[in-house]
Homo-oligomer: A and B are copies of this chain.
Amino acid sequence: MNIEIINIGDELLIGQVVNTNASWMGEQLSLAGFSVNQFTIIGDTREHILDALWKASERCEVVLISGGIGPTRDDITKTTLCDFFGTRLVFNEEAYKDVEAIFARRGYQVTELNRQQAYLPEDCISIPNKLGTARGMWFEKSCPSRILHPASCIQEARSRMQDPGSGMHQVIYVSMPGVPFEMKAMMNEYIIPELKTRFHPKSIYHKTILTQGIGESFLASMIEEWENNLPSFIKLAYLPQPGMVRLRLSGTGDEENAIRSQVEKEAEKLSVLIPDYIFGADDDQIEAIVGRLLKEKNATLGTAESCTGGYIAHLLTSVPGSSAYYKGSIIAYDNAVKEQMLSIMPETLQEFGAVSSEVVIEMAIGAQTNLNVDYVIAVSGIAGPDGGTEEKPVGTVWIAIATPDEVFSEKYLFGDSRERNIRRASLQALNLLRKNLLTDCG
């Protein structure tokens, strides 16, 4: 069974909006064990919508459509759907009550534009939308199958004229709003479960292992043997991002529990192979993991940042509730600030330079005292594009961690990009602290 996705909206074609709906839908469907064939993105015009609906029907059994419906754009898509399915719009009492309820919650009267949304194609199953006023619409239609070669056109047309049922197959079309959170709720709560019931895709189980501090090719060579020995029903995908590489294991088969336990077993082997680089799984975030470990120890954290310029503080404070353990930071971009606020000795700066083990260690100790915290992350480096020297090129970063028992520092050499250097240094620093918090626990 193949699925195609059609996204409708002029704003997508002129690049005003990046089409995240399609990739989200593709991901969720493939996670559910379905195979997605094609995305087709078109504008809000009748001719293109009809063309896309016909063409998709030749190639697949399920067509999922998002966009083109909503209070101000209903006209084209909904009437075009009616024409395509040979039906008409009728007033739907239940749909109107939902619209009324949404307006009542917001304290408004229903507008005429929104009243129109309760008109739905007669021959569809309408899908409730808890989060908005545009309902989903589920259609089924018998469509001509694909004519594989232009040369068969005449012969095919003749046989279809003689027997209208020949060369036909059943296609499901589902139209959804383009507003991402409305579409996502409808997909998760209704459409994917319904497709699973109808088509029984093979069970699929995914586990994503999150690694930090090692590049894709080095990682690949470290786990080559393990990868080569993976059972054939488990696939591995490398998903690199600046500062981390995600490894996704996907197991497919008939028995859900068996697959799950096999995938978990392989993930377990991986965690023995590269324990130093794995910081979590699936949706874990390193800044939240560090927070959890600190909370468990009832410990507090502060930061002292130079080249990362507040990005570590920003990551840590993006986590709701972080004020329970995160006390603050001194961002010492300037050497005078390093001396004044972090109590760094002018001699240390002069002798070793701001980007040195000595300075980053004094930064950590200074922050520990001045912010009165248990743990400190301190970073000093050259983010670029300027400021590099032969001895300390752009991308050179020193990171120090101060704990209640010790202070230590490590040196890294990242790349040329300022943005990536800031991100890589920040993730590396958080991972260093995470590892220390874990050892400390054990």
Chain B contacts for A441, CB-based, 8 A: none
Interface pair A13/B26, CB less than 8 Å apart: yes
Interface pair A14/B42, CB less than 8 Å apart: no
A272 close to B (CB within 8 Å): no
Q: Nearest B residue to A321 by beta-carbon distance?
A: B386
Those of A309-343 within 8 Å (CB) of chain B: 309-314, 316-318, 320-323, 326-334, 336-337, 340-341
A51 close to B (CB within 8 Å): yes
Interface string of A140-173 (1 = CB under 8 A from B): 0000100000100110011000000000000000
A129 to B150, CA, bound (A): 36
Those of A391-430 within 8 Å (CB) of chain B: 418-419, 422
Segment among A31-39, A61-69, A219-227 that sits at the interface with chain B: A31-39
The number of times this chain is found in the oligomer is: 2
* Given A12-B39, A317-B333, A327-B334, 20 other A-B residues pairs in contact with their CB atoms under 8 A: A13-B36, A13-B39, A14-B26, A15-B24, A37-B42, A40-B40, A55-B55, A302-B337, A305-B313, A309-B314, A309-B316, A310-B317, A313-B313, A314-B422, A317-B383, A318-B419, A318-B422, A328-B334, A341-B341, A341-B371
Q: Nearest B residue to A36 by beta-carbon distance?
A: B13
Give the interface centre of A154, A322, A337, A340 by most chain B CB atoms within 10 Å.
A337
Contact of A418 among B150, B318, B418 (CB under 8 A): B318
Chain B contacts for A71, CB-based, 8 A: none
A13 to B31, CA, bound (A): 12
Contact of A38 among B25, B48, B336 (CB under 8 A): B48
A59 to B158, CA, bound (A): 26
A14 CB to nearest B CB, Å? 4
Q: How many residues of A contact B (CB 8 A)?
A: 78
A353 CB to nearest B CB, Å? 14
Contact of A39 among B39, B309, B337, B371 (CB under 8 A): B39
Interface pair B12/A19, CB less than 8 Å apart: no
Q: Nearest B residue to A328 by beta-carbon distance?
A: B337
Chain B contacts for A150, CB-based, 8 A: 144, 157
A257 close to B (CB within 8 Å): no
A208 CB to nearest B CB, Å? 11
Interface pair A331/B333, CB less than 8 Å apart: no
A344 CB to nearest B CB, Å? 12
Interface pair A38/B39, CB less than 8 Å apart: no
Give the interface centre of A36, A239, A333, A372 by most chain B CB atoms within 10 Å.
A333
A424 CB to nearest B CB, Å? 14
Q: A14-B36, A38-B40, A314-B310 are in contact. Are A372 and B340 (CB under 8 A)?
A: yes
Interface pair B329/A310, CB less than 8 Å apart: yes
Interface pair B51/A26, CB less than 8 Å apart: no
Q: A318-B419, A371-B341, A386-B321 are in contact. Are A15 and B26 (CB under 8 A)?
A: yes
A22 to B383, CA, bound (A): 31
Chain B contacts for A312, CB-based, 8 A: 310
Interface pair A18/B20, CB less than 8 Å apart: yes
A407 to B238, CA, bound (A): 52
Contact of A43 among B37, B41, B303 (CB under 8 A): B37
Q: A328-B337, A329-B310 are in contact. Are A22 and B19 (CB under 8 A)?
A: yes
